[in-house]
Structure 1
């Protein structure tokens, strides 16, 4: 598998995990008393954070929130530097 395909697969896992969080958030908004759904929501958030962390460790931050404040202050993050995620 090429490096490009590996990154695409990892990004797909990030997107899938985020989708699960959004769907469970919507469900728990309308069913706030369902303990099992709330447990699934909590686990989905943890899983999504883990997958996102793996991606960002390998390929860089996905958002400004992901850039540690110390790094941003000390060395900065150059969002306009190539390659951008979709250019790799």
Structure 2
């Protein structure tokens, strides 16, 4: 996770997109192979990588989704510039 904290906003968004793709891809595989232990391990590993990346992004630039928003100020995320508006750069 330390490596992610060194990334700029664009790099971190790219990383989140790559890990998200891997999670969706393996989830689709698991739909047809639900007892593949290696695939389940891969899925769990990438889900954790995704959670970590989303938290790092939220800490540095503001949350992308409500589940990484500050619980004491849920609606603050709506006041921040969106990633494509140059928020956090």
TM-score class, shorter: 0.7 to 0.9
Find the counterpart in structure 1 of residue 84 from structure 2.
86
Q: Distance in 2 between matches of 1:56 and 1:21?
A: 19
Alignment of 1:1-88 (within 5 A): 6-72=8-74, 76-77=75-76, 79=78, 81-88=79-86
Q: Tell me the C-alpha RMSD between the 2 structures.
A: 1.8
* SS of the residue 1:83 aligns to: coil
- Unmatched runs of 5 consecutive residues or more in structure 2: 1-6
**TM-score (normalizing by structure 1):** 0.79
The Cα offsets for residues 4-53 of structure 1, whole Å up to 9 and x where unpaired, read as: x9211110001111111101111111101111001111111001111111
Q: Which has the larger radius of gyration?
A: 1
1:26 aligned counterpart, secondary structure: helix
The number of residue pairs the alignment matches comes to 80
Query: Displaced runs of 4+ in structure 1, greater than 4 A?
Result: none
> Is the alpha carbon distance of 1:33 and 1:50 closer, same or farther for their aligned partners in structure 2, counting shifts above 3 Å?
same
